[in-house]
Amino acid sequence: MSDTTPELQRITLYIISDSVGETGFNLAQAVMSQFPKIKPIYCRFPFINTEEKLNHVLEQAKADKQPIVIHTLATKGLSSMVANFCEQNGLVHYDYISPLLNEVSKRTGLVQTYEAGAVHHLNARYFDRISAMEFAVLYDDGKDPNGFLKADVVLLGVSRTSKTPLSLFLANRNIKVANLPLVPQAHIPDELWKVDPKKIIGLTNDPGILNNIRRERMIAYGLNPDTTYSDMTRIKEELDYANDLYQKLGCMVINVANRSIEETATIIIEALDLQDYE
């Protein structure tokens, strides 16, 4: 008997903020939780506090498949920039903060401060988290190998082993994380060998699950799912290469198959005794 279970519909949501972006993300999750038959794809863009950064994100949204744009921008001029761009390019957008700001200003005659993330003002732990988030973005995907020597945790893994979302989740716990994608025959930065192996976490996955994730990723982009990227032989070669490297480094290895980001993060926090960072 064939499986007639319908494929879940997908909706892409761009969540843009000039701070961490938790407000917009939490509201988006609250809305999407009401639609269990839809698979939301959350694209988060924190710390978008200049017109140049914002324009880059908006052009990306324009090129994407009609995402819903959600923004919580307090920096002066940025919310109107989103509105104008989206209206000119036929994009749906929701401003979660300006209408209420304008109403309060209208009733009181006072002008807002235009301070991004002002709700967290003077909260030392908040600024630690901001620093960790900026660190995660700066040293994502091995952009700068010097980050390995400054990080509390270094994540390694082949493509689609949750390195970036895990980095951001840990950063939200005030933990500075750098990560490096592993590709066979690619050069391993010298800085990695100077890191204490206890700080390094090797991420792996089951070949079948990784194959499904990569195929779905290609489908989400409207591309052919049957490519070298999702080829089982290639996937096994990548995982073998990664596991050989982990053995040479002597680092901890975590199989993320069927594990949530939260579960994997908890394992890392407990294994590295990072509870005091939270």
User: For the segment 255-264, what is each residue's pLDDT rounded down to a tens digit?
Assistant: 999 899 999 9
Domains in the chain: ranges and CATH: 9-120 (3.40.50), 124-277 (3.40.50)
Sequence-distant (6+) residues with CB within 8 A of 109 are none
Residue 158 is assigned to a ligand binding site: yes
Q: What pLDDT score was predicted for residue 278? A: 60
Residue 43's H or E segment, with its range, is strand 38-45
Q: In whole angstroms, what is the distance from residue 230 CA to residue 237 CA?
A: 12
Q: Strand order in 68-72's β-sheet?
A: 38-45, 9-17, 68-72, 92-95
Q: What pLDDT score was predicted for residue 122? A: 47
What confidence category does residue 1 fall into, taking pLDDT thresholds of 50, 70 and 90? very low
Residue 164 is assigned to a ligand binding site: yes
What confidence category does residue 94 fall into, taking pLDDT thresholds of 50, 70 and 90? very high
Q: What pLDDT score was predicted for residue 153? A: 98
DSSP label at residue 13: E
Residue 53 is assigned to a ligand binding site: no
Mean pLDDT of 68-89: 93
Residue 143 is assigned to a ligand binding site: no
What confidence category does residue 6 fall into, taking pLDDT thresholds of 50, 70 and 90? low
What confidence category does residue 113 fall into, taking pLDDT thresholds of 50, 70 and 90? low
Residue 19 is assigned to a ligand binding site: no
Residue 250 is assigned to a ligand binding site: no
pLDDT digits (tens, 9 = 90+) for 207-230: 999 999 999 988 888 889 899 999
Q: Are 200 and 254 in contact (CB under 8 A)?
A: no
Six-digit token string for 15: 């969540």
Residue 159 is assigned to a ligand binding site: yes
Residue 160 is assigned to a ligand binding site: yes
Mean pLDDT of 50-62: 94
Q: Mind spelling out the 3-state secondary structure of 135-193?
A: HHHHCHHHCCCCHHHHCCEEEEECCCCCHHHHHHHHHCCCCCEEEEECCCCCCCCHHHH
Six-digit token string for 75: 């920096």
Measured from the Cβ of residue 83, the count of other Cβ atoms closer than 10 Å reads 15
Q: Which of 20, 85, 88 is nearest to 51 (CA)?
A: 85
Q: In whole angstroms, what is the distance from residue 238 CA to residue 58 CA?
A: 34
Q: Which of 51, 78, 57, 48 is nearest to 14 (CA)?
A: 57
**Per-residue pLDDT at 268 exceeds 90:** yes
